[in-house]
Amino acid sequence: MNPKVLAIEPSMIRAIAAKKQAGAIDLGIGEPALLPQQRFIDAAARWAAEHGVKYTVNAGDVALRELIAAHYAFPGMGAARNVCITTGSQEAVYVAIKTLLDPAVDELLVVAPAFPAYAKMAQLEGIASRAVHMRADDDFRYDVDAIVDAIDPATRMIAIASPANPTGRVLRDADARRLAAALLARPGAPVWILQDEIYRELTYVDDPGSIADYYPYTIVANSLSKSNALTGMRIGWLIAPGEVSDALVKTHAWVTSTASSFGQRVALEIFREPGALQEHAAWYRAQHGSVTAALEESGLRYVPIDGAFYACVRLPRGGDAMAAALELVERRNVVAIPGGTFGASLEGWLRISWVAPADDVAEGLRRIAAL
């Protein structure tokens, strides 16, 4: 067996979720409760009935890639060549890490708290990784100075998610500009940014920022999983500068050959229709208001929710978040994820997903507050 695989611990998120009992309030797994818009699936099915479900080129359907590039219009990344369609955003992140980093000399810097996949993927490839932790006493806001100060000579990539899983914080436009300027001012080889924008469409602030708008050494990962409730469709993408995109496609081709051609057709139908990526956003904005009110009523300390569909709450008496999560799932019929899963800076906190009905979320928070 590959010792790197043996050394990687299984997903704590899935382990806690597996303990869910019948009738439990599920504030655990980050998956939309909404159903996808059927018209896109039906249109793709009609197309498949006529044309079949055949391979696309490795990088993905050209028309889809053109639409994605034009939709985001990142500077220098506006052509089909700049897009690689992947099997979900998770493959996108893995391909970016595997392609850009040399295990012998390079390091991945993860802006934490963070979804554990970035560090686990680096570990799988034998790549060193390190975290720079945003501060609890600053409500885990993105601290540009801390991120830049954490860069050392081996750092070749910074992984940052905005909106963030688990905290729901969003990198603001002014901070994206500052981070880009600081990185451009550094001497030597560039440090790449891997920006995970899977929750991009679910943002509740007026000034979200994307580093790719200002920094040419950025690779953007995204997917339809959260915006359009298509987690099982497994369609994601990478957007990158041309010469790097060619290398990403090469890695992707050997990892998975092509993404699902049927899923790509569904994505094509979505990107063809103006506003389709935002179809669920109004529901999330309304739910955001209800959840924020429930958080205030609970009396729990919580991180302001800028985006995504998560909230981080501090345990009312501090202590061991893993023990609290087990108590909740085994005795109080609530699924919540211990914060330490996302990094040491979130110890003593729980992450909740608030896609359940608002009344269930409020009741789950009351049970957490009663711990």
Distance CA 238, CA 88 (A): 10
* Three-state secondary structure string covering 252-318: HHHHHCCCCHHHHHHHHHHHHCCCHHHCCHHHHHHHHHHHHHHHHHHCCCECCCCECCEEEEECCCC
* Residue 318, pLDDT score: 82
Query: Using CA atoms, how far apart are residues 246 and 25, in angstroms rounded to an integer?
Result: 45
Q: Which pLDDT belongs to residue 194? A: 98
Say how far apart CA 235 and CA 230 lie, in whole Å: 8
Indicate the SS3 state at residue 247: helix
- Rounded to two decimals, the pTM is 0.96
Q: What is the pLDDT of residues 69-99, one digit of tens each?
A: 999 999 999 999 999 999 999 999 999 999 9
* Gyration radius (Cα) of the chain, Å: 20
pLDDT at 144: 98
Domains and CATH numbers, the chain: 3-34+280-369 (3.90.1150.10), 38-276 (3.40.640.10)
pLDDT at res. 11:
87
Please check whether residue 238 is in contact with residue 82, taking contact to mean a CB–CB distance below 8 angstroms: no
Residues in the chain: 371
Q: Sheet of 337-338: strands edge to edge?
A: 310-314, 349-353, 337-338
Give pLDDT < 50 ranges for the chain.
none
Residues contacting residue 352 through CB under 8 Å, at least 6 positions apart = 27, 28, 310, 311, 312, 313, 336, 337, 361, 364, 365, 368
Q: Given this model, what pLDDT does residue 258 score? A: 98
Dist CA 364 CA 232 (whole Å):
26
| C-alpha to C-alpha distance for 217 and 96, rounded to whole angstroms | 12
pLDDT at 105: 98
> How far, in Å, CA of 201 to CA of 118, rounded?
21
**Tens digits of residue pLDDT in 274-318:** 999 999 999 999 999 999 999 999 999 999 999 999 999 999 888
Where helices occur in the chain by DSSP H, the ranges are 3-6, 12-17, 38-51, 62-72, 88-100, 117-124, 144-150, 173-185, 242-256, 261-272, 281-298, 321-331, 358-369
Using the structure block, give the residue that is written with the tokens 């099997």: 87
**pLDDT for the residue 14:** 87
